[in-house]
A and B are shown apart, each in its own frame.
Chain A
Amino acid sequence: MADAALPAPIPRPKGLVWLLAISAFLVFSTWGASLAPWAFEMPRAWQVPFAETLSRFVKWLLNDASFGLFTFAELTRFIAAILDAPYRLVLAFLSSGSPEAGLPPMSWIGVTGLAAIAGHRAGGAPLALLIAVCFGFIAVFGRWESAMVTLASIVIAVPIGIAGGLAIGILAHRSRFIARAIIPVLDLMQTVPVFAYLVPILILFGFGPVAAIVATLIYAMPPMIRVTMLALSRVPAEIVDLGRMVGCSEPQMTWRVMVPAAKDALMLGANQVIMLSLNMVIIASMIGAGGLGFDVLSALRRLDFGAGLEAGLCIVALAIALDRLSQAFAGLKVNPATGGTWLSRHPHLFAGLCLLTLTYLAGLVWPWVETFPVAWEYTTGDFWSRVMREINVTYFDALEAIKTTLLLNLMIPVKRFLIDLPWLGVAALLAFAGLQLSGPRLALLTGSLTVLIALTGLWEQAMTTVYLCGVSVMFAMLIGVPIGIAAAERNWLWVGTRTVIDTLQTLPSFVYLMPAVMLFRVGDFTAMLAVVAYSVVPAIRYTVLGLRGVDSGLVEAGRAMGCTEGQILRRIKLKLALPEIMLGLNQTIMFALSMLVITALVGTRDLGQEVYIALTKANAGAGLVSGLCVAFIAIIADRLIQASAARMRAGLGLADGGRHES
């Protein structure tokens, strides 16, 4: 890393220079408006019509782009057809059956049993039980058919995401050129809101589940690629050398040496693909995937909070089952059994197949085996609506007072301040920060991205975005870091906290957004609550990760020198965990930005709203431009925070795994 080149005692960021720069910025912002009005509001003549250009490009791509033998649209339609065939098969298997042949789908008992048997194979009886409970939960709440539709698209999307991510990651690992080219693309894939590219995808891949699967892949694949690149580069040099010495060919090197050596890290990537695919369920249902996401949306349109929550929790149950299952398979030691018959070597596979066949046949005779009987279903009915009513009638005035105070004293002043800032000043300040934290390259990047945002003419919406995310991230960190500190020390608390944050990450935010509207009306405050609820997750997770990673020897040394617990926490643990906490901050910002599209649904006027408007008007260009502005904000924040975290790590002597040396 570049940090190694820095002199041992890092010169602290020169306080005086920063002071001067910020004062100059504030002076210019306050009194510069009359001198240079163009620096405050980008003159219309300077704005570049990116949206029209992009729209024209997309149109060309769809109608005219050709590779000689076939057009681009034919290529994408071909891909769609390839994806569609296995999807239909899985869907028929799990949900629709085959009406033409008069065949029903697999029995609910068979599918649950099969998942539980897979759980038993990977994690023994406890996991089998957990999975059976998750699937049973779905059946009891009457969501079996929707859940199977969702599961069918997950079953198609996840393997493609994992295999594709692995392949691209390997290519990028082999070729520096591909790696360089792919990293900015990954940044965009992860930060451009999904709504921004939905319209082109719908046109290219056709309407329906396949387009939803493609959108899911774009969203869920990047972590797998990143993890693959990182994991392969971390394979110990000795193993690689050994492979060379025994004369492995290139493919053997990759598949027999590198990939197995990096397996643990790769499984983490696979896990992320599963979780992110389930995050997409709601958005996918808006463009034709149906399933649980549709149940959530339609329940909330009727203001049936109970049904919305039930369907949302079924998504969580599905996520937990798949997540735990994939983690257990990752931890499994593969030792192929030899000898014996096929049957004795594969008892789980055999049991699963038997169960499926038997329940299927039984389902043809007894309907309750095939479909979960309605009489056994349970629903919370209007219980949650009544709870909401109670809270609404009793506490509305108190909540309104809190909300008004926060809005008037914090949120609105921050919003006014940010919107009034000159774009030129902001660009200069961000470039200065880049220069101080890293060097001219970062300065050029942050400065030019800021100017680009201003050139699109979306400056005000961009600053509203910064304001909404900034305030939310502040609250998320204020809540998340203390919880993380408390949970890192106490195992029982961490177990509970983990369940809560896993739920927050997979429960569609729509489920709590609409009750929040009832209590706080539409507007920025409600949007902020939803953003905080979602982005508090990484704030907690990374704080715990950082604190738990602190070298216990150092803590012992501190204790031996007579530090109190408070001193150990402040002077040793938090200080050493700071780089991880900074990474948590980084992720909190990313999560907050990714919620913008959802908050557009409660009437914010930021970039998320622009993306949403473009989607509903099928304006591909405008959507992409607003989406790219969000991505630019994310990239600026990400690079600046990473640069300052790298400095901090160097300052603590932690550069490049130097934790053990200190």
Chain B
Amino acid sequence: MTMKRKAHYLLGVAAICAALPAGAQESTDPIRLTLHDWTGQLITTELMGEVLKAANYNVEYVQADYLAQFAGLETGDLHVAMEMWETTGREAMDAATATGKVVVFGPTGMKAKEEWWYPIYMKDRCPGLPNWEALLEPACAEAFSIPETAPKGRYLGGPVTWGGFDDERVDALGLPFEVIHAGTDAALFAELESAVQREAPIMLWVYAPHWAPAKYEGEWVEFPEYSSECYNDPSTGINPDLAYDCGKPFGEIWKVGWAGVADKWPGAAKAIEAFTIDNDDMGAMITKVDLEGSTVSDVVAAWMAANEATWQGWISQ
């Protein structure tokens, strides 16, 4: 702890000395990266931040809410948000970029997956899974029910703010399920943990990259493949009268930031645009932190030591 802090001071001093010759036109003001409240995002952000520090930029981490941060990105109080999920943040992202004050720094390389998910032991009680048509069987739906929803199955959806169109999907596909919305993802996974401990029935919204699919054995339900026509045009898909008769989209995870970054720190903007990492690397790091008890800083340092050529490439353009 202490050694690390000492190292930070030294680094800070070194940064001030080195900053002048390195990039005369670049600002020495801190670049503010936002931290949210899930581990994957903390890792992505610290990875970017440490790489920028290695390139002698002054970096500051700021705690901010995932969606509320756009207010800060527009005014330039905050500068970079490393994870904006296509699946949950698209609406807010489009609204922000429309103002012209926020820009997208391209994809992170990670793909967001979100879908209905069940623990593996549920396969015995509903043998047709993972094909979604198995859920149409009344016996199968009942296997997923609780007293308040019986005979319908219970599906625990994400917080209302995540969207996802699950109520519409249940309607369009005629699934005998009731959609209950959890208020936060902590509540979502608390229910999952509880159910798995008792091997009790549960069907819920799980997303990746996340520690849950790594910790618990289970599968995603396979719905008819997503297409934008299926969401927008009722006549496409299995149900001719309703839209949303298909699964959820896979999506990019985007990097976004304040429009002024490229002018103020041109080199940093290039490095942020160059940043990519894939799902497997990220999944492994999340597992190390959430399930094996490492700290985010240690995991990031280990990745940087092992992949020096990769991140040197981002900053040396």
Contact = CB atoms under 8 A, between A and B. Distances in A.
A11 interface: no
Interface stretch (B110-118, B181-189, B240-248, B277-285): B181-189
A300 to B, nearest CB: 5
A298 B289 CA distance: 12
Residue among B68, B147, B156, B290 with the highest chain A CB neighbour number at 10 A: B68
A207 B64 CA distance: 7
A156 B69 CA distance: 24
A400 interface: yes
Interface string A138-154: 00000000000000000
Contact of B180 (A203, A519, A523): A523
A616 B92 CA distance: 9
Interface in A98-131: 99-100, 102-104
Given A522-B156, A618-B68, A298 B37 contact: yes
Contact of A287 (B12, B65, B70): B65
Most buried by A among B63, B75, B184, B200: B63
Contacts of B156: 522
Nearest to B192: A303
Interface string B3-29: 101001110110010000000000000
Dominant secondary structure at the A interface: helix
A97 interface: yes
Interface stretch (A47-55, A326-334, A417-425, A601-609): A601-609
B316 interface: no
B13 A517 contact: no
B63 A206 contact: no
Contact of B198 (A206, A396, A616): A396
Interface in B77-92: 77-78, 91-92
B67 A618 contact: yes
A539 to B, nearest CB: 26
Contacts of A393: 197-198
Nearest to B65: A286
Given A302-B211, A618-B71, A603 B38 contact: no
Interface in A209-265: none
A389 B197 contact: yes
A401 B64 CA distance: 40
Interface in A615-629: 615-618
Contact of B1 (A103, A302, A374, A519): A374
Nearest to B193: A303
Nearest to B146: A521
B77 A208 contact: yes
Contacts of A497: none
B276 interface: no
Contacts of B39: 298, 301-302
B75 A203 contact: yes
A615 B69 CA distance: 11
Q: How large is the interface on B (under 10, 10 to 19, 20 to 34, 35 or more residues)?
A: 35 or more
Given A102-B13, A298-B37, A522-B183, A207 B190 contact: no
Nearest to A374: B1
Nearest to B70: A618
Which of A290, A301, A609 lies at the interface centre, i.e. has the most chain B CB atoms within 10 A of its CB?
Answer: A301
A301 B71 contact: no
A156 to B, nearest CB: 17
Given A302-B39, A514-B186, A603-B181, A519 B194 contact: yes
Contacts of A286: 37, 63, 65
A609 B286 CA distance: 30
A288 B63 contact: yes
Contact of A302 (B75, B159, B180, B290): B290
B151 interface: no
Interface in B121-170: 146-148, 156, 159-161
Contacts of B171: none
A616 B65 contact: yes
Contacts of B62: 207-208, 288
Given A301-B37, A396-B198, A618-B67, A613 B160 contact: yes
B191 interface: yes
A256 B184 CA distance: 53
Interface string A194-212: 0000110011001110000
Contact of B38 (A102, A301, A519, A613): A301
B187 A603 contact: yes
Interface string A357-379: 00000000001001101100000
B67 A518 contact: no
Contacts of B68: 198-199, 202, 287, 615-616, 618
A443 B12 CA distance: 65
A392 B200 CA distance: 11
Interface size bracket, A side: 35 or more
Given A202-B71, A302-B290, A618-B68, A609 B160 contact: yes
Contacts of A102: 9-10, 12-13
B190 A514 contact: yes
A26 B13 CA distance: 75
Given A102-B10, A286-B65, A371-B2, A612 B147 contact: no
B72 interface: yes
Given A286-B65, A396-B194, A407-B148, A616 B161 contact: yes
Contacts of A389: 197
Contacts of A302: 39, 211, 290
Contacts of A297: 37
Contacts of A599: 183
Contacts of B5: 97, 104, 371
A523 B16 CA distance: 53
A393 B290 CA distance: 23
A499 interface: no
A380 interface: no
B181 A517 contact: no
Given A301-B38, A302-B39, A389-B197, A609 B189 contact: no
Nearest to B61: A290
A294 interface: yes
Contacts of A303: 186, 189-190, 193
Interface string B40-82: 0000000000000000000000111111111110010110000
Interface string A275-301: 000000000011111100010011011
A600 interface: yes
A99 B184 contact: no
A23 interface: no
A404 interface: yes
Contact of B13 (A100, A298, A371): A100
A453 B78 CA distance: 37
Contacts of A602: 182-184, 187
Contacts of A513: 187
B251 to A, nearest CB: 18
A174 B12 CA distance: 53
Nearest to B161: A616
Nearest to B162: A616
A478 to B, nearest CB: 24
A392 B9 contact: no
Contacts of A517: 186-187, 190-191, 194
A304 to B, nearest CB: 9
A287 B194 CA distance: 30
A214 to B, nearest CB: 14
A294 B63 contact: yes
Interface string B250-287: 00000000000000000000000000000000000000
A584 to B, nearest CB: 29
A201 to B, nearest CB: 10
B184 A601 contact: yes
Closest 7 CB pairs of A and B: A207-B72, A99-B12, A518-B194, A601-B183, A367-B2, A517-B190, A603-B183
Interface of A: 97, 99-100, 102-104, 198-199, 202-203, 206-208, 285-290, 294, 297-298, 300-303, 367, 370-371, 373-374, 389, 392-393, 396, 400, 404, 407, 510, 513-515, 517-519, 521-523, 599-604, 609, 612-613, 615-618
